[in-house]
Chain A
């Protein structure tokens, strides 16, 4: 199953996102991510399995006031 990758602007947001998703039983892992922030430099992402409801994930992150830099589906786990 392909993962989708949620790029965020900081390690703090990445860990916050990971914890928020794990708190509701969604597998999520922080990863270093430079691909989607090439214009601005180093960043972090949260990698979520592709079979998880993407809308639900986005809702959870929005409720947590997590700023997203990019969301990419269909990407394989780095």
Chain B
């Protein structure tokens, strides 16, 4: 099996990830922040080191602003439902994943908020910015942006949209599921208030681990409440981050693995990894464009590409290619808005997402398989 589904989760994981994660089984198995004994303290130190490593990678001023979550979806739900109040207005993009679209729609259906969808123009950041500006209202509390499309590999003008949100007194939430660890994100340059991360993707942590980077003093109401390991006699969650938003036992194995992932990314360099992946993606795109009856969507700047074979749905093509030994993702990728934006809401697409461990030979093998498959009869 040739794995080309790194936008779902990166695989394989670097050796450093496995080395760090295994430490939990041998010496860091206790529950961090839940006791004073040495192993619990050592585990807590490891978790804090992971917070420091993430904060440094994203130039987040305070490590306690790193809130670990089950995954990026949980981070986005926490940000959205923790920030919004009845009567608020929200702006989202037309490329959002369901992890943004569904919670926003759910709050809207409950009669709590209103929202608008700003149409992204992949060919024009100016048009995209203008679309966001047109959606802003006096009661806009939150602007949410899918930084990088999980279907089409586009990158949205986050810095400009963040500035627009701040100019109008709104908070800016960046969904960096596909960009965290994949391209540099510096919060001193792109001062997003909240950043949701899928740490098991671009930062190679074991699944499932996400984080919400909190770069604001705005109050966020916890979605989960329970044990925090401190101030236990209080009937409410402690006020300070990250414990305010982290009820229950943390996934120490995944967090330890994250330390190895950050180490790997720092050693290789985010830029170098991205260049390597984009070389593979260009090889793939150029090759697909040479094959008759193939439709390639857009010109990705992230290592994610969608295509279709004429006469076949994305789901069908991915299933057939799976039988030929390729791990791809067909269908709608939990992103109906994105598919409507690109006009693929009826067919879906086949998504290829290359990773740092893929090779030119593997890409060539996929291209040969697509050629052999040929068009369908739809």
Interface residues of A, Cβ cutoff 8 Å to B: 9-13, 15-16, 19, 30-32, 37, 39-44, 65, 67
**Minimum Cβ distance to chain A for residue B53 (Å):** 13
Partner of A42 from the list B229, B239, B240 (CB cut-off 8 Å) is B229
Q: Decide if B48 is an interface residue (CB 8 Å cutoff).
A: yes
Please indicate the chain A residues that have their CB under 8 angstroms from the CB of B36 in the complex: 31-32
Partner of A9 from the list B32, B41, B51, B230 (CB cut-off 8 Å) is B230
- B33 touching A11, Cβ below 8 Å: yes
In the complex, besides A9-B231, A32-B36, A43-B231, 8 extra interface pairs with C-beta distance below 8 angstroms are A10-B231, A10-B240, A11-B229, A12-B48, A19-B48, A30-B44, A39-B233, A40-B231
- In this complex, the member of A9, A10, A41, A42 whose beta carbon has the largest number of chain B beta carbons within 10 angstroms is A10
Q: How far is the CA of A19 from the CA of B228 in the complex (A)?
A: 22
Q: Number of B residues contacting the other chain (C-beta, 8 Å)?
A: 25
Q: How far is the CA of A31 from the CA of B35 in the complex (A)?
A: 10
- A12 touching B51, Cβ below 8 Å: yes
Please indicate the chain A residues that have their CB under 8 angstroms from the CB of B243 in the complex: 10-12
Residue of A nearest to B64 (CB): A12
Q: How far is the CA of A43 from the CA of B240 in the complex (A)?
A: 13
Q: How far is the CA of A69 from the CA of B225 in the complex (A)?
A: 22
The 4 A-B pairs with the shortest beta carbon distances in the complex, nearest first, are: A32-B36, A41-B233, A41-B232, A11-B33
The interface bits of chain B over 27-61 (1 if a CB of A lies within 8 angstroms of the residue's CB, else 0) are: 00000110110000100110010010000000000
Interface residues of B, Cβ cutoff 8 Å to A: 32-33, 35-36, 41, 44-45, 48, 51, 62-64, 228-234, 238-243
- B48 touching A32, Cβ below 8 Å: no
Q: How many A-B residue pairs have CB under 8 A?
A: 65
Contact A32 to B240, CB < 8 A, known contacts A10-B230, A11-B230, A12-B51 = no
**Minimum Cβ distance to chain B for residue A23 (Å):** 12
**Minimum Cβ distance to chain B for residue A2 (Å):** 21
- B233 touching A40, Cβ below 8 Å: yes
Residue of B nearest to A66 (CB): B64
Q: How far is the CA of A16 from the CA of B64 in the complex (A)?
A: 9
Q: How far is the CA of A15 from the CA of B66 in the complex (A)?
A: 14
- B229 touching A67, Cβ below 8 Å: no
Please indicate the chain A residues that have their CB under 8 angstroms from the CB of B230 in the complex: 9-11, 37, 41-44
Give 7 A-B contacts (CB < 8 Å), ordered by A residue: A9-B230, A9-B239, A10-B240, A11-B32, A12-B33, A12-B243, A32-B35
Contact A37 to B231, CB < 8 A, known contacts A15-B48, A16-B64 = yes
**Minimum Cβ distance to chain B for residue A52 (Å):** 21
Q: How far is the CA of A62 from the CA of B231 in the complex (A)?
A: 21
- A11 touching B44, Cβ below 8 Å: yes
Please indicate the chain B residues that have their CB under 8 angstroms from the CB of A39 in the complex: 233
Residue of A nearest to B62 (CB): A65
**Minimum Cβ distance to chain B for residue A21 (Å):** 14
Q: How far is the CA of A30 from the CA of B228 in the complex (A)?
A: 18
Q: How far is the CA of A42 from the CA of B35 in the complex (A)?
A: 9
Residue of A nearest to B234 (CB): A40
Q: How far is the CA of A67 from the CA of B1 in the complex (A)?
A: 52
- A42 touching B242, Cβ below 8 Å: no
Please indicate the chain A residues that have their CB under 8 angstroms from the CB of B33 in the complex: 10-12
Q: How far is the CA of A32 from the CA of B37 in the complex (A)?
A: 9
- B234 touching A41, Cβ below 8 Å: yes
Please indicate the chain A residues that have their CB under 8 angstroms from the CB of B232 in the complex: 40-42
Residue of B nearest to A9 (CB): B240
Please indicate the chain A residues that have their CB under 8 angstroms from the CB of B48 in the complex: 11-12, 15-16, 19
Please indicate the chain A residues that have their CB under 8 angstroms from the CB of B239 in the complex: 9
Q: How far is the CA of A42 from the CA of B232 in the complex (A)?
A: 6
**Minimum Cβ distance to chain A for residue B308 (Å):** 48
Q: How far is the CA of A15 from the CA of B243 in the complex (A)?
A: 14
Please indicate the chain B residues that have their CB under 8 angstroms from the CB of A19 in the complex: 48
- A15 touching B231, Cβ below 8 Å: no
Please indicate the chain B residues that have their CB under 8 angstroms from the CB of A13 in the complex: 64, 240
Q: How far is the CA of A9 from the CA of B237 in the complex (A)?
A: 12
